[in-house]
Structure 1
Amino acid sequence: MVKLSERQKHIMQWLHTSNSILPSGLMAQHFGVSVQTIRKDMNEMSDLGLVRRVHGGIRLPSDNDNLSFTNRELLHFAAKEHIAQQVAQALPPNSSIFLGIGTTPKQVAQALLDHSGLTVVTNNINVALILSRNPDIQVHLAGGLVRSSDEDTIGEVSTAFYRRFNIQYGIFGVGGISQHGRLLDFYAEEAHLNRAIIEHSQYCWLVADQHKYGRYAPVVSGQLSEIDRLFTDAVSTDLARLCHQYQVDVFHDTTHEFNQKE
């Protein structure tokens, strides 16, 4: 994880508390430093994807910002780790799995590193590198166009590769979940891959932190009704209602709710 200075940590806490734009002049006055020093802090935090620069100050990134892989990895990191641990506890040994694109599946891979007998199909380069460290895990990496900003492969080659498999557990994330239960992605290529996971898995497990609910993305990749289990860190009342409506098992915190869909 990135190491922030004590002042930068205080700025991040201030941003989360105020949930508004912080002017550079106000921060300089508060910390007793020059505006130039604060600008350096703002630039460093912006480069890490922790904040967004605006005229005269900074704000927290919007949930609708589609950030690079490295920057997204820093957002809601603890929640993603928690989700990954839940998946690792629920997944039986010797399973075959899809692991989709994104930062949460990468954390799932970390949590599964000591699992034995897994067969993993993925287009997530980080997932492949992590799980290939365990000689008892068989990893199939899809070819295709490499997206350097997302550290994965996409395109018809990748999607066709996925369609060659019959997998027990499809584990994937999405760009957002609409208020009507639509699963959303930012690009058609991402949606095609998630469709292949849904259609070629016996059970579909969605991994998504609470901030994905209500987040906009332009491409529909599926419906919540196609999901068997949702692994998350917290569930709003509206999302809980949708999951109950579509009989989706919800795993969050230290408890889970079974709707007996499987």
Structure 2
Amino acid sequence: MTSEDPSDTIELTPRQQQILAIVQQVGFTTIETLAERFGVSAQTVRRDIIQLQASNYLQRFHGGAGLASGGYRSAYAQKLMVSPQGKQRIGTAVAQIVPAGASVFLDVGTTVEAAARALLDKPGLRVVTASVSVAQIFCHHGVFDVVVTGGTTRGANGSLVGHAAIACIMGFRFDYAILGLGGFDDDGAPMDFDLEKIAVRQAAIGRAHKVLGVADGSKFDQTGTARIAAPEAFSMIVTDAEPPARLREGWQRVGTGWLVA
């Protein structure tokens, strides 16, 4: 049996999925921080980390957990395994919102990629993306009239960031911007961890008539390094699970809608 045999994997619990997502975003986190976040004992978190390490999802360190070193799952590959059916439902819901012939900006991330796949059969779309992976999805299906921003690649998913990416975005007007989210602030404002990716998203928000945030339910209990924008900058949050009351209340106050796919 090789380390890539599917029988080596475990079915992740919701808490384990969230632990994995946190480690992927910040690189390292302590057992104490995780225990406080989830309201469980340090021993419970330690057992989760041991199970995740056994399937090479992450690496256990003294007092905490970090990204797996030399494991067969990169952080990007790990993200693909978190809530794949939920992300597919989110993508389908987005495709039902975006009309044929629309001008669309597609962000980076596995949930946005699910939306890109769902949009493949939508005729007449004019697509701009800051994701090499999203562009490849369209190209692999014979759709070649996609604008890819310039910029510097960042991460295994081919995210494009920097001045060139932002300058390209500023030259367009979008009917819809579809943005991936890393977590939420207390008032429901979408957040993320990478400041350069946040800057690209902020540029797209400024050039879009409607902004759709996409996030699976594992993001509800996550925050982030910085806010992408105020919650009212988003027309709708599309997700795969009912959001907690604190997020729903924050969105209701400012008129941001949400859709559970």
Q: CA RMSD in A?
A: 3.2
Counterparts of 1:136-215 in structure 2, within 5 Å, are 138-215=145-222
CA deviation profile, 1:110-129 (whole Å, cap 9, x unmatched) = 11111111111001111101
Structure index of larger Rg:
1
**Residues 22 and 58, structure 1, Cα contact 8 Å, conserved in 2:** no
**Residues 98 and 169, structure 1, Cα contact 8 Å, conserved in 2:** yes
**Residues 116 and 137, structure 1, Cα contact 8 Å, conserved in 2:** no
Asked whether 1:53 is paired with 2:60, we answer yes
Q: Distance in 1 between matches of 2:59 and 2:170?
A: 39
Partner of 1:241: 249
Closer, same or farther: CA 21–165 of 1 in aligned 2, 3 Å: same
Amino acid corresponding to residue 212 of structure 1 in structure 2: K
Cα deviation for residue 133 of structure 1 reads: 3.6
Q: Distance in 1 between matches of 2:170 and 2:203?
A: 6
SS of corresponding position for 2:246: helix
Q: Distance in 2 between matches of 1:169 and 1:3?
A: 40
Partner of 2:114: 107
Cα deviation for residue 181 of structure 1 reads: 2.4
Closer, same or farther: CA 156–42 of 1 in aligned 2, 3 Å: same
Amino acid corresponding to residue 194 of structure 1 in structure 2: R
**Residues 188 and 246, structure 2, Cα contact 8 Å, conserved in 1:** no
Partner of 1:70: 77
SS of corresponding position for 1:222: coil
**Residues 120 and 137, structure 1, Cα contact 8 Å, conserved in 2:** no
**Residues 105 and 207, structure 1, Cα contact 8 Å, conserved in 2:** yes
Cα deviation for residue 88 of structure 1 reads: 1.1
Cα deviation for residue 190 of structure 1 reads: 0.9
Q: Distance in 2 between matches of 1:181 and 1:24?
A: 29
Q: Distance in 1 between matches of 2:252 and 2:13?
A: 35
Structure 1: any 5+ residue segments left out of the alignment?
28-40, 62-66, 254-262
Cα deviation for residue 76 of structure 1 reads: 2.0
Q: Distance in 1 between matches of 2:63 and 2:226?
A: 34
Amino acid corresponding to residue 110 of structure 1 in structure 2: R
How many residues are treated as equivalent by the alignment?
227
Cα deviation for residue 135 of structure 1 reads: 4.6
Q: TM-score, normalised by structure 2?
A: 0.75
Asked whether 1:222 is paired with 2:229, we answer yes
Cα deviation for residue 142 of structure 1 reads: 0.9
Amino acid corresponding to residue 4 of structure 1 in structure 2: P
**Residues 147 and 154, structure 1, Cα contact 8 Å, conserved in 2:** yes
Cα deviation for residue 20 of structure 1 reads: 3.7
CA deviation profile, 1:25-71 (whole Å, cap 9, x unmatched) = 9x8xxxxxxxxxxxxx945x22xx3x553569999x9xxxxx83222
SS of corresponding position for 1:93: coil
**Residues 116 and 136, structure 1, Cα contact 8 Å, conserved in 2:** no
**Residues 187 and 246, structure 2, Cα contact 8 Å, conserved in 1:** no
SS of corresponding position for 1:21: helix
Q: Distance in 2 between matches of 1:171 and 1:110?
A: 13
Identity between Structure 1 and Structure 2 (%)? 25
Asked whether 1:98 is paired with 2:98, we answer no
Amino acid corresponding to residue 238 of structure 1 in structure 2: R
Asked whether 1:8 is paired with 2:33, we answer no
Structure 2: any 5+ residue segments left out of the alignment?
17-39, 69-73
82-91 vs 72-81, greater mean Cα deviation: 72-81
